[in-house]
Structure 1
Amino acid sequence: MCGIAGIIHFDGKPVDVKALETMSNLVVHRGPDDMGFLLFDSKGQNKPLFSSYPFESNIKKYNGGFSHRRLAIIDLEDSGRQPMTNEDQSIWVTYNGEIYNYLELKEELLSFGHKFHSKSDTEVILHGYEQWRCDLFSHLNGMWAMAIWDDKKKELILSRDRFGIKPLYYFFDDHLLIFASEIKQILPFIIKKITINESLLFRYLTIGAMEEEDETFFNEIKQVKASHFILFKKDSSKKTTSFYQLNFNSDIGVFNNNYTDIKNRLKDLLTDSIKLRLRSDVPVGTCLSGGIDSSSIVLIASKLLPYQYKNQGRQKSFTAAYINEPDIDETIFAKKVIKKAGTDGHFIYPLSEKFWEEIDELLLFHDTPTHTPSIYPQWKVMEKVKQEGIKVVLDGQGADELLSGYLGYIPIFFAQLIKDKKWSYFFHELLTHVEIYSLFNTFNLLMVTMRNLIRKEHLPRWKLTKSYIKKDFLKNFNEFPTLIKRSNKNLQQRLYQDFFLLSLKSLLKYEDINSMRFSVEARLPFMDYRLVEFIFSLPANFKYRNGKTKWILRKAMRGIVPDKIINRIDKKGFEYPEKKWFYDKKEIIKEIIQQGKDEIKIYIKTEDLLLHLESLLKQPVGSSFIWRIINLILWEKRLKNFYN
């Protein structure tokens, strides 16, 4: 895991080597173990530099360069340094991530006659590119954001993993390309060129939408899309290509009990995914919430770790916990897993006072506005991981979108049953839901189902927020925010959208920033593409059945995960005590808004917002809107500081 960056002038202008150094220094947190640089030009001259060398300020003849910050995980020796090259220095790579099947690929490449000089996964990328060119990416099982410089062709390739686990941003204009792991690395060099993406800002403020496709909050800065690579040629042309397509089964499925082979296959794939993600030359820890996803990972890893890494010692697990908050605290479940797995369990207690003290730093590292304060509990967990000397953690990200883990997916399943006229199946699930939950809960579920059938998903948020948006800002956009049309009547299609295009995209971004802020690599076993493809090939009723979300995972983990967790019907993500953090801190919030009037005056009716602040903070939709306002204020202030 690392931080990468690069600058290329395709018109032959000299690259500012001090700019590369600045880009590297802005992400020391992503790679504190080493730093490396590469300078290259159109004549085939290359100059690698590492941290042991002083930077030569008078270098003028190179028109391109890479910078690299290293977090050493696999092959801790100097042989694993980046940027890395092949034998004849015709191919160079700087990359962030891990290729989990690098050992298998190495054996395959050796059979083709390639020779290796390190034990790193980076060298596998180099020889893989020599062998397969851009077909390389289809061979990789892992997470990555990489830049490959083909010195013979004078071409650059930017590539991002199948699901966008690792970030990769770029600016391309007038023969100048700048790319980086974080937006903050690009901003200083184009600050007077950038404009805010007001279309995204409008969707963000009104309904909490985040980035879609390749967009960011800046019009001029894009992100490489997941499962794509971009080829930049020496004539400044650019071509974007997809190397992976995820398919899904849109059927509801037949209601029967023939699932033994399927649950066993899921268990085997998850176990192998965890086994691959335990490959490391440093100890591996685990994030543990107390839900079935993280519990499965911790318990399977506890059986595998002694055979994976001889110096591992006792597995350390990390759990966010809340005193006197029974509605969101999962300590009781986490302790059951810790006892069964025999882990060294660490509990972290995020506090509202600390949250408001650290909010500037938190949002500074996130670069652009965020949609939930729940990023803070994860931030504190990763801070503790670092304090315990752990560089790698396994986490359960992606399982909810794969397996219909959120309760909000239930009305989509119900709407699909109604639309497809599966009446006996519908009434079976309806009555089961009444038995498990309550008549009142089921009535509310039906109301949401009806709203889904007439496509009014975002209406409550829109009704509340639009009254506080300035008319001059509103009139620039459609009456109702336009989005990728989320499916509200087909569960599998909605899961595909959330997993590949929408909500998970933001969660992966937050996970990357929160973990890398503390020089920790987060690995996600549920996002192994083999497991993802298998789960999406199953019909919807393997995700939700008999009133239970993640139905097939519950069946697969029976006997591994404690029954008390298998049988849970509640769902908690990275929650936070909303009342304590927001309503009880309304004076702090009021002060932030009052001091930030100038930053939001062209977007928000500030006086109306302050007048109704207390009532807004009493409701989830309102407090979420206030969080977005706070993000906007602090973000705009940071941009002013950058500009000045």
Structure 2
Amino acid sequence: ELLGQAVARSLTGRDAILLSGGVDSPAVAAFAAPEHRRRTGRAIGALSAVFPDLPAVDERRYIELVTQHCGIELHTYRPRSRGLDDVEKWCRLFGSPVPIVSVPELAENHALARQLGYTNLLTGDFAEFAFGSPDHLVSYLVTHARWWALGGLLLAERRRGVSWRRLARHLLDTFIPGRLANWYLHWRRLDSPQRIPDWLDARKINEIPYRTDLLQPSRRRWTQAQLVGTEGSTITIEADEVCAAQEGVTVRRPFADIDLWEFFLSLPAELKCPDLRYKTLARGLLRGRLPDPILDRRDKTYFDDHVMAQVDYPTLKRWLAEPRHRIPGVDYGRLAQRIEQGNFNRFDWHWAKDLARIHAFLNAW
């Protein structure tokens, strides 16, 4: 199978899987464990972050299901690093601020893996891009006159208990221009206005529409969604590679394998997405290779508690209370008040930590 081939290409003999309780990294584990044992005669390792003090975040029960099922040697740790630790050092090392990922947590993970004797780490990264998205599938089938496929999809959704009203909304989306849809969402305050803190200029943020996926013509939206993994910033990947090299390990992502991507991109829409749930095809293909409780999970892990435990007010104050440089659209006075009050929500933290990285970078030169 293509995933098995991709995993086999990634193994070196001193491997560990960065394992979570979802579907993506367990899918890698299902193929890596037997192949590693065949090659080396030993169980492959797994390294997992666990959060015994944060029950809503902790996935240990699912992780252990996978390791027991696949015969994997499990190592766990409680992450201690925080997203803004040594932020100026990292900005100097990378020559840029790094968005999205928590570089200190990556470095902590890779250093621990190396201490355990592993030099090659396998992840489930990019699985959601390889498997594809059902977003805008109904519009795609309508605009391409795929009537049999559309009928089968609607029937499958009805059997799943989805209401006709919800399905009609999917059909209606086909005929609403994206800019009109974004205007309506903003007018009805359905564009998550709380995502913009009171110390940022909402007009500046809203220069980019809330739903950029709707700006494409409806006949192209689903196709564009299948290619979203080819877009975006490569800075985060580079940061991970630098962290890995610094700690003496390599990171391999089997779901980025070109043959696997070509296979999923070649599938007809109705086969790739047999219903409007994410990863339905993947779950079916993995049935029997992974425990059913993993494939049938309906609860979703939200990392909000861990994210909020990362808030570092002293570091934010250092970089943002009286910055040497000022970025248009930021009310630094109000931001300083909020930092002093110590009452951030997750949206405040999301924006502020990236802003702190930017200022740390600007101050480093």
Equivalences for residues 155-554 of structure 1 within 5 A: 268-278=1-11, 280=12, 283-309=14-40, 313-351=42-80, 354-404=82-132, 409=133, 411-413=135-137, 416=140, 422=150, 425-426=153-154, 429=157, 432=160, 454-455=178-179, 456=182, 460=192, 464=196, 468=200, 480-481=207-208, 486=213, 489=218, 490-496=221-227, 498-502=228-232, 505=234, 507-554=236-283
Instruction: Spell out, residue by residue over 1:422-461, the C-alpha distance to the aligned partner (whole angstroms, 9 max, x if none).
Output: 47745753773759xxx9xx89x98xx79x9625399657
Residue of structure 1 equivalent to 2:316: 589
Cα distance, 1:414–1:332 mapped onto 2, change above 3 Å: farther
1:629 aligns with 2:355: yes
The amino acid of 1:468's aligned partner reads: L
Cα distance, 1:574–1:303 mapped onto 2, change above 3 Å: farther
* SS of corresponding position for 1:599: coil
Determine what percentage of the aligned residue pairs are the same residue.
Answer: 17
Give, in angstroms, the shift of residue 302 of structure 1: 1.3
Asked whether the equivalents of residues 365 and 517 of structure 1 are also in contact (C-alpha less than 8 Å), the reply is no
The amino acid of 1:552's aligned partner reads: L
The amino acid of 1:295's aligned partner reads: P
Cα distance, 1:298–1:624 mapped onto 2, change above 3 Å: same
Greater relative contact order: 1 or 2 (C-alpha under 8 angstroms, separation 6 or more)? 2
Residue of structure 2 equivalent to 1:598: 324
- Report the Cα distance in structure 2 between the residues aligned to 1:539 and 1:573, rounded to whole angstroms: 32
1:610 to 323, 328, 336: 336
Structure with greater Cα Rg: 1
Give, in angstroms, the shift of residue 345 of structure 1: 0.8
Give, in angstroms, the shift of residue 392 of structure 1: 0.9
Instruction: Spell out, residue by residue over 1:64-102, the C-alpha distance to the aligned partner (whole angstroms, 9 max, x if none).
Output: xxxxxxxxxxxxxxxxxxxxxxxxxxxxxxxxxxxxxxx
Give, in angstroms, the shift of residue 395 of structure 1: 1.3
Instruction: Spell out, residue by residue over 1:36-78, the C-alpha distance to the aligned partner (whole angstroms, 9 max, x if none).
Output: xxxxxxxxxxxxxxxxxxxxxxxxxxxxxxxxxxxxxxxxxxx
Instruction: Spell out, residue by residue over 1:547-592, the C-alpha distance to the aligned partner (whole angstroms, 9 max, x if none).
Output: 531112111111111111111235559887122222xx44543343
Give, in angstroms, the shift of residue 324 of structure 1: 3.1
Structure in which a larger fraction of residues adopt strand: 1
- Report the Cα distance in structure 2 between the residues aligned to 1:410 and 1:375, rounded to whole angstroms: 31
Cα distance, 1:506–1:374 mapped onto 2, change above 3 Å: same
Asked whether the equivalents of residues 432 and 546 of structure 1 are also in contact (C-alpha less than 8 Å), the reply is no
Give the gaps of 5 or more residues in structure 2: none
Give, in angstroms, the shift of residue 316 of structure 1: 1.3
Give, in angstroms, the shift of residue 511 of structure 1: 3.1
- Report the Cα distance in structure 1 between the residues aligned to 2:44 and 2:59, rounded to whole angstroms: 20
Give the gaps of 5 or more residues in structure 1: 1-267
Number of residue pairs matched?
343
Cα distance, 1:545–1:508 mapped onto 2, change above 3 Å: farther
Structure in which a larger fraction of residues adopt helix: 2
Asked whether the equivalents of residues 363 and 631 of structure 1 are also in contact (C-alpha less than 8 Å), the reply is yes
* SS of corresponding position for 2:51: coil
* SS of corresponding position for 2:75: strand
What TM-score, normalized by structure 2, do the two folds share?
Answer: 0.77
What TM-score, normalized by structure 1, do the two folds share?
Answer: 0.46
Give, in angstroms, the shift of residue 524 of structure 1: 1.4
Instruction: Spell out, residue by residue over 1:379-417, the C-alpha distance to the aligned partner (whole angstroms, 9 max, x if none).
Output: 33212111112111111111111113xxxx555445546
Instruction: Spell out, residue by residue over 1:498-547, the C-alpha distance to the aligned partner (whole angstroms, 9 max, x if none).
Output: 211226x4553343233223121111111111111000111334444445
